[in-house]
Structure 1
Amino acid sequence: MATNIDNDVTKKVSNQAEQPSLTKGKQLWQQKFIGKKPYTERSCTSCHGVNVAIMGKHIKTNKQIKPMALSSNSQRFTKKAKVDKWFLRNCKWTMGRECTQQEKSDITAYLKSQ
């Protein structure tokens, strides 16, 4: 059971955005973005998969990625520094830019609902 979630992470992401939208979070999770070769089409699902409750695999390194769904991985969203680090890195690679606070809020809400 995920009782150690850093609520501060959720509050800080949510406080700087409008009400989180699960629908927008899911849409953003699955949205395709244009990238550089050889990965010209990218999305969060490229590495994490559509089913966030199971393991993913990084498309460049083939390293296993633990499930993003809170129901499958109680360690998700427990450390603000780690959440910030991965949002920064993954948004830049996937979208070609940093995520907005609203996008982070929507994605976080979606993943926590799974």
Structure 2
Amino acid sequence: MVCTVKVLSVRMGALSLDVVIGLMRCFPCLERLYIESIKPGKKNLWRRKHRNLIRSLDIRLKTIDWRYYVGTKSDVDFATFFLLNARVLELMTLQVKPSDFKEEFFTRQREKVQLDKKAS
């Protein structure tokens, strides 16, 4: 396997875990992912849908930079997927709107994305 693409930037109208998983299959050596989502996706339910995939997909992402995180259930599910399954993830940056830049917002989001259960 020739691994040439290690950095990818994606702009999505609606956030979609299925699209990102498809891209990771096309670019298996992806280490850095930059995401810009204009609006939250409808659902990013992965626990049942991608249960078998998680065992076989080697997620090599070390860095995820996500622009326009708003904290909806779809956003939380998307972030949680990578926090729990990307074993070499070193940094996930969630950029938020200035109006959400408050300690109470960050506290709620830490609880929602289960930071204490990160993959090891």
Shorter-chain TM-score category?
A: under 0.3
Which structure ranks higher in relative contact order (CA pairs < 8 Å, sequence separation ≥ 6)?
1
Structure with the bigger percentage of strand: 2
Task: Return the TM-score normalized by structure 1.
Answer: 0.27
Higher helix share: 1
TM-score normalised to the size of structure 2?
A: 0.27
